[in-house]
Amino acid sequence: MSSSKRQRIEKVPGSRRAKLTPAPGTTAEPRPADDEKTDAADGEAAASGTVAGPNDERMRRDVPPHW
């Protein structure tokens, strides 16, 4: 693999952080598959607590010993 087809690290003057160049074959735009409503609905359901797992109630009752 030639070195010109790799992602590069660029120093940014006056900044502590470096900047990465885009990786070959990628774009800055999100993929259309990321915007599907089924993935978002599953994530919202899990975050809201409507989907209960077998240990959810126990995890909510447990308190660390330092509390």
Query: Pick the residue with more confidence: 2 or 16?
Result: 16
Query: 20, 8 in Cβ contact below 8 A?
Result: yes
Each residue's pLDDT tens digit, 37-63: 554 555 555 556 567 888 888 888 888
Query: Pick the residue with more confidence: 21 or 39?
Result: 21
Indicate the helix (H) or strand (E) that contains 11: strand 9-11
Which of 17-21, 34-38, 55-59, 62-66 has the largest mean confidence? 17-21
Query: 18, 9 in Cβ contact below 8 A?
Result: yes
